[in-house]
Every structure is written in C-alpha cells, then in structure tokens.
Amino acid sequence: MDLKKLGKILAYILGRHPGEFGLVPDREGYVKIKALLRAFSEEEGWGYVRQSHLNEILLSLSPAPVEIQGNLIRAKIRENLPGIETATNLPKLLFTCVRRKAHPFVAANGIRKSESPVVLSSSVEMAERLGRRVDRWAVTLTVQVKKALEKNVEFFKADGALYTAAFIPAGCFTGPPLPKEKPALSPPADTIPTAPQKPGSYTLNISADGSFNSASGKNSRKQDPPWKRKHKKGKQKHEKPPWRH
C-alpha cells in the first residue's frame, strides 16, 4: 500500500469534493469514519482500506493530511471545502432512500428529525448508492420540493448533487407501493385435531346424576373382535338339551 497516495486521496475527498463520494461533512468538516470506509469500498482498487490504514497515515506521514477525533475524521486543509448553505434554485425533485423495514412508518409519518440530517440528491443514482450503504434493499423516495417548502422544510446545499434537510413531512414524497400484509390464517375450530389418547387410557363419561362410565366400557360389545361377537351370538341361540326341559 502506498501511504502517500492514500493520503492524497483522503485530502481530496475530505478537503475538496466529498460530494463526489456521497459524503456530507458537518459544519466543522468532520465525517464519520464508517461512512468514509463505505465510500472507499465502492471505489475500484480501494476496497481494502480499513481504519488501521488511517491510523498508520497519522503515524507515518508528516504532516498528516487528516486528523481523527473519536469516530470522526476530517482534512487538515479545508480552505477549498464547500460549505453548507441554504439552497437556492432547487430542482423540482430530490431523491432519498430509507430502510425497507422503515418504509411503512415513513410513508405514514414522514422522515422525522434526528441527530443526522436527511441526505438527498438530485441524482437518483447517487441516492440509491447512499441507500445501499445502510440497507441492501433500501427504498427510494421521490421528494416533491415545492410541497416540502410549503410545509416549512428548509433545504441546504452540500457538495456536488447533494442536499440536506432536517425532516421531510408525510405527503411530500412518493415511493413504491407498500407490501400487502398477509392475513393471519387459523383453521376453523371444528378442524383442529384433538390430541391422541395414550395407549391403555380411557375417557370417563360423567352423567347428570354424578355417575360415570368409561368410554372403553360403553358399547363394549361393539368393540369386541368379530370372532368373539360371533361366539357370544351363538351362545345366545343355543337350545337347552332335552333332559333339562
């Protein structure tokens, strides 16, 4: 690995054009290291970059082109870094992505305020690229800028095709249809099988007067094997011998 080359690329990304890589620095120029590494993973030939390489640059290059504070990183030279300003001449449509699991909630309630701003792009390709960083099956939303402005949304221009906003109300965007909820299927009560009886067990049938008979004793003749029933039937029809008359 060429540390000097990596240092120059970091200085370009963080100090000049972070928007080309889908990054939006905060007002102090910091971006999350995790977001930076994800951006590197999308670039051919730079997917190997890890935080250990960033730490090595701090130790090996003098002066180091970047500085790290906790989980944040920024360029030391930021004179050419575009600032975040209130957006003017906005496009009619902007695009952003949400996690697939969050799509039903967002469709009903909008994208609410949080610690991180909503990142949008005038390019659907860039929006989808950012969406895949957080969810492989992220859902793309199309924001109607005019409707959002009417609901007091303030847009800020970041670098390149990127914009930010604190929130996006429901009704200001469209997206794919929500997945249909599958109804819970339950079998009718009369089709639910009963638990089989254990071998040798029997059921007690309790009558109204408190007496009981076992199911095995009830209709016991019907439960006798055929040869036994035939034998009993023959006994019933047997005539008495003459000397007993």
> What pLDDT shows up at residue 239?
57
Instruction: Say which residue the tokens 């050419």 belong to.
Output: 80
Domain ranges of the chain: 3-75, 85-174
> What pLDDT shows up at residue 40?
94
Q: What is the CATH number of domain 85-174?
A: 3.20.170.30
> What pLDDT shows up at residue 83?
84
- In three-state secondary structure terms, 56 is helix
- Residues of the chain falling short of pLDDT 70: 1, 181-245
Please give the CATH topology (third level) of the domain spanning 3-75.
Arc Repressor Mutant, subunit A (1.10.10)
pTM comes to 0.71
Residue 116: Cβ within 10 Å count? 11
Instruction: Say which residue the tokens 């870094």 belong to.
Output: 81
Tell me how far apart the alpha carbons of residues 237 and 165 are, in angstroms, rounded to a whole number: 100
> What pLDDT shows up at residue 220?
47
Alpha helix locations (H) across the chain? 3-15, 33-41, 51-60, 103-109, 124-134, 145-150, 220-223, 226-236
Instruction: Say which residue the tokens 């990142």 belong to.
Output: 119
Count, in order, helices (H) and strands (E) of the chain.
Answer: 8, 12
